[in-house]
Structure 1
């Protein structure tokens, strides 16, 4: 997630340089074709880039709106996980009878393991989760599962039932804590849905094709009056469209490990710190630091 208001031009160019080269080559080719092949035979009507520009605006607008909706939904899901995680730990620490306090602490630690397992799954790092928050019995119980975070929630449900059976919590507290488990499941499912739902590739593909056609036709039209400078102007106008489109597409996969994604590392670390401090632990990790004071993962 970006932390600064102004984005460095170098970052933009790193994201667009390949497309920029293609556009420059296209503009040069369009200028040479206009200058040496069709200059004395026909004039390219200005209506062509005008219509293409309008179509591109619609496609880019749709793409960016849908991409931001995905990003914002993912951020709301993880914001909910932050709040419910604190409530979950607070309930287990203060509601459970002292006779089962060790089991309650184990369930709080296990929840941290659940969050790291979910984060690792969303980012494709299935072997990079904080197993130290799970007991040896927990690791054995989930070892045969492909969905580790779902298996961890099943263990939480089992132990919550144990607390109720031991009368360490009353029925009202049991229902309250169980509802939190349901919300964790909902947040897990919504995150998986966002990650596994492929954005319609036709929109992205057609947008790229339209931008290329627009750059070529625009260069052909303005070369009639600007000459060789039409190459530069064609690239500049194309750069605006390409940058806007790439900016929107960077939000399509909000759980990717890039500067525009949801800061899962920071969010899970924040929850980890909060829960460990609520447990009175002394060995608490430091918050995740920004990269180059520009963004946080």
Structure 2
């Protein structure tokens, strides 16, 4: 249904340019002290550095796999919300009728009841996506300067308008006041849905078997909501994330002490046959070491920001786009005029929001 962000290598370098500059500067200082100042004691055997690097690679790889699993699970949950929402719209259209009604409604009155139920479902999706965009203390998007820069560049709908203003488009003033008085607003909306269809069943506008089918759909929506809230409210275990973070830092600090002497030894060997190249070869340790440091750092950082797939950053699940797509489908099934159906949220910097 959806294509995701086209996140180029250039964007990744811009995202981590501050750290890249630090890696280059740090390695440059170590190389200068070792080569020019002849601080030969700045020499750590390569074997322990390599062993630490191997351990870090395993830890960061595990963290990346776990982060990807969280993102992919979140995407599957919202894909299921798409399917269940369409099912809700279809069943409301076909199961709400006068076949068993004691006091039949007019065609226009039936259509209005269907509109209320479908609009309330759109309000549920709206409340759920706003709940998913709320910040948590363990989320990482606000802790890095470059993350904050990306966040300012993206126009996340939930940060532009309030939930209260959005609910005005889908609920009556009384229902909106009731929902806003509750902490878990999306749950309150599903309770209203259940109450409404029970009243319609009591009046004969929904057959009892159809009522049970609609209740099953609401149960599915509760399940999807609970799964989404679980990912939002339960962070990736901090002991793993923190250990990986500090181990990457330790490896990046030790790496020049192991690589620069290695490059110095290679330079000495080259000097016998190519003196000019050999005299400058050690300085290649700067870009090489910075590249290795960047690779480990960027893998850890990608995992760190990928742990929370609803923050509203470029690699998150595009729940705003998904919700608006469902809204468009449901309102078209109501045969509304195209000019009153909202358009899809535009891509922002090649990212769906």
TM-score by length of 1: 0.91
Q: 2:120 maps to which residue?
A: 110
1:230-254: CA deviation from partner (whole Å, max 9, x where unpaired): 2222111111111222222232111
For the Cα contact (< 8 Å) 1:27–1:216, is it kept in 2?
no
Query: What RMSD over aligned residues (CA atoms) do the two structures have, in Å?
Result: 2.1
1:259-289: CA deviation from partner (whole Å, max 9, x where unpaired): 1001111101110001101111112122222
SS at match of 2:163: coil
> Cα gap change, 1:4/1:107 in structure 2, threshold over 3 Å: closer, same or farther?
closer
Q: Give me the whole-angstrom Cα distance separating, in 2, the residues matched to 1:262 and 1:64.
A: 16
Q: Give me the whole-angstrom Cα distance separating, in 2, the residues matched to 1:8 and 1:50.
A: 30
List alignment gaps of at least 5 residues for structure 2. Answer: 99-104, 135-157, 265-281
Q: Give me the whole-angstrom Cα distance separating, in 1, the residues matched to 2:202 and 2:313.
A: 46
1:14-40: CA deviation from partner (whole Å, max 9, x where unpaired): 32123223323432343355444751x
Q: Give me the whole-angstrom Cα distance separating, in 1, the residues matched to 2:347 and 2:180.
A: 34
Q: 2:154 maps to which residue?
A: none
- The partner residue of 2:343 within 265, 278, 286 is 286
1:68-90: CA deviation from partner (whole Å, max 9, x where unpaired): 11111111111111111111111
Q: 1:186 maps to which residue?
A: 223
- The partner residue of 1:274 within 319, 323, 329 is 329
Q: 2:352 maps to which residue?
A: 296
Matches within 5 A, 1:148-167: 148-167=185-204
> Cα gap change, 1:203/1:27 in structure 2, threshold over 3 Å: closer, same or farther?
farther
TM-score by length of 2: 0.77
Tell me how far 1:255 sits from its aligned partner. 0.8
Tell me how far 1:9 sits from its aligned partner. 3.2
Q: Give me the whole-angstrom Cα distance separating, in 2, the residues matched to 1:202 and 1:25.
A: 30
Q: Give me the whole-angstrom Cα distance separating, in 2, the residues matched to 1:210 and 1:137.
A: 54
> Cα gap change, 1:37/1:160 in structure 2, threshold over 3 Å: closer, same or farther?
farther
> Cα gap change, 1:2/1:204 in structure 2, threshold over 3 Å: closer, same or farther?
farther
List alignment gaps of at least 5 residues for structure 1. Answer: none
Q: 1:61 maps to which residue?
A: 61
Matches within 5 A, 1:1-297: 3=4, 7-32=7-32, 34-35=34-35, 36=37, 38-39=39-40, 41=41, 43-98=43-98, 99=105, 101=110, 102-124=112-134, 125=158, 127-128=162-163, 130-131=166-167, 132-224=169-261, 225-226=263-264, 227-282=282-337, 283-292=340-349, 294-297=350-353
> Cα gap change, 1:42/1:183 in structure 2, threshold over 3 Å: closer, same or farther?
closer
